[in-house]
Structure 1
Amino acid sequence: MRIDLHSHSTASDGTQPPADVVRRARAQGLDVLALTDHDTVRGHREAIEALPAGLTLVPGMELSCRRAGQSIHLLAYLFDPLDPELVAECARITQAREVRAKLTVERLVELGVPVTWEQVAELAGGSPIGRPHIARAMVVAGAIAEPALAFTPEWIGAGGRAHVTRYALDPERAVRLVRAAGGVAVLAHPKARRRGEEVPDEWIAELARAGLFGVEADHLDHDADARAHVRGLAGELGLAVTGSSDDHGELTGHRLGCETTAAEVYERLTATATGARPVTTGRREA
């Protein structure tokens, strides 16, 4: 069984519609895919309606968190999508993201980058606007050669000349919110040194005490040493270990299924969740 528990669509900052994501997942030989757009479940309905035979969809999202000025990403799975507190926090995060995006565009213009809010909004196609949309606009404007170059101190990366902070959840509170909504929480790419977002071990231990289910070890932003370290830490803390593509479509080279999660971990995850169930061929499993 091939299981990918981290993917994005045009519901947030991916480049492919949810329907296309699930079709591509099945074409890549995946049996299970989690759709985890940033702070939203708006792509789930389309993904379910287009779900091909043989593919199970795990409804999820990637929550934006921050501690001590550092960005932290929390994958949430199989929670109640109507939980009022979780819905309210996602709305607050999304609103803050738009404010941040507008300020970022203004700073880029001040730095001489010929981008406009209208261009960025067009690239987002009606989805909540995030930094990847701004990065794509910078490529179109000729300021950078590829979107990844935007996420540096030179531009919109952490501490960068055009970087703007925004509201995000404290990660411990986020874990508790997900659990209260019947979901399961997994820490995404905790040792992504290339992103400058390495989560300290002591923070991971605190999240484990708060109810964290697992950590994402097998991720393309983790080298061999990072993967081994995350696995060792997970063993010490009693956390599950997952692997995922973190696919964003064209932005990441259509890499669905490049990293996967073990079947036994997936079985534990679905057995732990009470807020929702995986979906097969457009209908919820009994």
Structure 2
Amino acid sequence: MRIDLHTHSTASDGTDTPAELVAHAAAAGLDVVALTDHDTVGGHAEAVAALPEGLTLVRGAELSCRVGGVGLHMLAYLFDPAEPELARAREQVRDDRVPRARTMVRKLQELGVPVTWEQVARIAGDGSVGRPHVATALVELGVVDSVSDAFTPDWLGNGGRAYADKYELDPFEAVRLVKAAGGVTVFAHPLAVKRGAVVPESVIADLAAAGLDGIEVDHMDHDALTRARLRALAAELDLLPTGSSDYHGTRKTVRIGAYTTDPEIYGEITRRATGAFPVPGAGGARQA
């Protein structure tokens, strides 16, 4: 059983539509895929409607958080999307994405980069605009070779020359909100140092004490030593260790299903969730 619990579609900053994403997941031999767009559930309906026979969809979101001046992402699975408090929090984060992206465009222009807001808006399309869209504009302009190359201190990396803050949730509040909505939380790529500053392990321990369910261990931004340390930390803190591609379509080089989650861990995630059910293909007969 092959399970990928972290992917993105055009509902946020991926390049596959939700329908294309589930088709690619099935073609890659996945049995389960989670759609976890940034701060939105806007792609879920299309993904459910297009779900191929034999593929199960886990509906989720990746929540933007910040603690102690460090940004982090919290994966939320199988929560009730209509629960009002969590819905308001997601909306507040999304509403700040446009002014943040405009600020990054302005900073790039001040650095001599001929990027425009119209270019970034075209790249984002109907999705929730974010840094990857600005990074893609830099690739189009030949400023950097890849989206990953834009996430450095020279450009859009945390604290970088063209970086701009945005409203983000406190991760402890995010855990509380998701649990109240019947969902399960997993700290995404917690030690991805190539992205910038990461929180100390003491914060992960505090989050575990506050109800965090798991940490993403097998991820393209974790080397072998980091994965081993995270696996040990998960055991120490009684957290569920997951593996995921963090697939963004052509915006990143990683393939869907490149990293996967153990079926027993997935089973525990579904057992803990009360806000929604996984949806089996085709068409989503068990929508919650």
TM over 0.5: yes
Normalising by structure 2, report the TM-score: 0.97
In structure 2, the partner of 1:115 is 115
* Identity level (%): 58
In structure 2, the partner of 1:282 is 283
Equivalent runs, 1:119-138 vs 2, <5 Å: 119-138=119-138
User: How many residues matched?
Assistant: 286
- Give the alignment's Cα RMSD to 1 decimal: 1.0
Normalising by structure 1, report the TM-score: 0.98
Q: Is the 8 A contact 1:22 1:33 kept in 2?
A: yes
In structure 2, the partner of 1:59 is 59
How far apart are the structure 2 equivalents of 1:251 and 1:283? 28
Q: Is the 8 A contact 2:147 2:252 kept in 1?
A: no
Asked if 1:184 corresponds to 2:202, the answer is: no
Q: Deviations over 1:11-69 (max 9, x none)?
A: 00001101000000000000000000000000000000110010000000000000111
How far apart are the structure 2 equivalents of 1:92 and 1:230? 31
Gaps of 5+ in 1: none
Q: Is the 8 A contact 1:74 1:188 kept in 2?
A: yes
User: What secondary structure is seen at the aligned counterpart in 2 of 1:191?
Assistant: coil
Q: Is the 8 A contact 2:51 2:284 kept in 1?
A: no
In structure 1, the partner of 2:102 is 102
User: What secondary structure is seen at the aligned counterpart in 2 of 1:107?
Assistant: helix
Q: Is the 8 A contact 2:104 2:162 kept in 1?
A: yes
One-letter amino acid of the structure 2 residue matched with residue 156 of structure 1: L
Equivalent runs, 1:159-198 vs 2, <5 Å: 159-198=159-198
User: What secondary structure is seen at the aligned counterpart in 1 of 2:54?
Assistant: coil
How far apart are the structure 2 equivalents of 1:220 and 1:139? 21
User: What secondary structure is seen at the aligned counterpart in 1 of 2:107?
Assistant: helix
In the TM superposition, residue 187 of structure 1 has moved relative to its aligned partner by 0.5
User: What secondary structure is seen at the aligned counterpart in 2 of 1:242?
Assistant: strand
Gaps of 5+ in 2: none
Q: Is the 8 A contact 2:220 2:254 kept in 1?
A: no
In structure 2, the partner of 1:77 is 77
In structure 2, the partner of 1:156 is 156
User: What secondary structure is seen at the aligned counterpart in 2 of 1:39?
Assistant: coil
Q: Is the 8 A contact 2:184 2:213 kept in 1?
A: yes
Q: Is the 8 A contact 1:278 1:284 kept in 2?
A: no
In structure 2, the partner of 1:7 is 7
In the TM superposition, residue 142 of structure 1 has moved relative to its aligned partner by 2.1
